Amino acid sequence: MKHIAIILARGGSKRLPGKNVLDFHGKPMLAWTIEAALQSAQYRQVLVSTDDPEIAEIARSFGAQVPFLRDSAADDITPSSEATLTALRQAEQHWGEQFDVVSQLMANCPLRDAGDITAAAQNFIERDAESQICSFRFGWMNPWWAAKLDAQGNPEYLFPEARVARSQDLPPLYCPSGAIWIARGPALKSAKTFYVPTHIFHSLNWMSAMDIDDVEDLEMAKACFEIKKNQALASSIT
């Protein structure tokens, strides 16, 4: 199958300016996603879709294809699926071929590695899925106990039946992550979203699934990077 990775990396970021090229453990944040995609060897093309010439140049220096700048869908309100469809249209026009499978990899997920990408792609194929969304299992922040608050601080529980239950008695819940989304080209084009009616979830470790959108996320991701590095070192020694 002709499989393309589309890495979304627009230039404008309001919550964390310059997010996609900020230094993350010695490299621009974007570089970690490019290198993971290339090392996975899953893709016919690894394309960075950006509206920013500086980001384009950085992406090329780390081995990604950036033969054009994104010609639309580069604002902060456009859904990521629409931005990916725009990039896919440009890519198919540029290379003169249709891609069977599309992976959307967000540049602000630097802890997702080649192994995560390979496992997600294999699961997609084995399940014969139309679309697959990566997710992670909620941990100590138990969403079964979530509540909305009114102006006076009075709670309205989203799952009132679970309010007094022990966490170990409740089934696990999962949250989508932007780390790795995969869809068949025709299904993505038809639904105009990765959330096609038959989409499935594929779980990642919560650290691999981290999205960085603000300063607190960035600091937490840097700490998690060190944890993952130490875990890998310990594993290699044993």
Instruction: Report the C-alpha gap between 27 and 6 in whole angstroms.
Output: 20
Mean pLDDT by 10 residues, the chain (238 residues): 95 83 95 98 97 96 96 81 96 97 97 98 98 95 94 96 90 96 98 97 96 94 93 80
Q: Which of 48, 39, 46, 43 is nearest to 2 (CA)?
A: 43
Tokens 């084995």 appear where?
A: 126
Tokens 């599309």 appear where?
A: 102
46 near 123, Cβ under 8 Å?
A: no
pTM: 0.93
Q: Which of 119, 120, 225, 101 is nearest to 180 (CA)?
A: 120
Structural domains present in the chain: 3-138+173-237 (3.90.550.10), 139-172 (no CATH)
Give the pLDDT confidence score for residue 119 in this predicted structure: 98
Quote the distance between the C-alpha of residue 54 and its chain's center: 22
Give the pLDDT confidence score for residue 231 in this predicted structure: 87
Instruction: Report the C-alpha gap between 141 and 206 in whole angstroms.
Output: 12
Give the pLDDT confidence score for residue 30 in this predicted structure: 96
The token pair at 34 is: 């490019």
Give the pLDDT confidence score for residue 77 in this predicted structure: 76
204 near 228, Cβ under 8 Å?
A: no
